[in-house]
Structure 1
Amino acid sequence: MPRRGRGRNFGRGHWRGRGRGRGRGSSSSDAGPNEEETSESIGTSESVGTSEDLDKSLECSSDQTEEIKENTEEEKEGVEEEPGDTEGVFLKEGDVGITEYISSSPGFSAIIKQRYSDFIVNEIDEEGRLVRLTSLEVDRSQMPADEEDDDTGLDGVLSPEQKEKLDDFNANPNPKRVIDICAPVDKVTRGKVHQIVRVRYKKLESDTLVEDDVRFIRISVKGAGGHWGSGQHFRQQNFQRKPWPAGFGNYCRFVLYKENMDTMEAVHKLTKFFHINKNMFQFAGTKDKRAITSQEVTVYRVKAEKLVGANRYFYKMALGNFRYVEQPLKLGQLSGNRFTIVLRVKAEKLVGANRYFYKMALGNFRYVEQPLKLGQLSGNRFTIVLRDVTGTDEVIDSALQSLKTNGFINYFGMQRFGTTAIPTYRVGK
Structure 2
Amino acid sequence: MDARAINAKLRRREVPSEDELRWFANGLANGDVTDAQAAAFAMAACFQSIGTEGCRALTLAMRDTGDVLKWDLDGPVLDKHSTGGVGDCVSLLLAPALAACGAYVPMISGRGLGHTGGTLDKLEAIPGVNTQVSEDHLKGMMQDVGCAIVGATAQIAPADKRFYAIRDVTATVESIELITASILSKKLAASPDALVLDVKIGSGAFMKTAEEARALAQSMCDVANAAGCRTSALITDMNQPLAPSLGNALEVAEVMRLLTGQAAGPLVEISAALGGELLVHAGLATDVQDGAARIAATLGDGHAADIFGRMIAAMGGPADFAGNWQAHLPGAEVQHDVKAPAAGHVAAMNGEALGLAVVGLGGGRMVESDRIHPGVGVSGMARLGQEVAAGDVIACIHAASEDDAKAAEAAVLAAIAIEEKPAELPPLVHERIS
TM-score when normalising by structure 2: 0.18
Higher relative contact order (CA 8 A, sep 6+): 2
- Bigger Rg over Cα: 1
User: Which one has the bigger helix percentage?
Assistant: 2
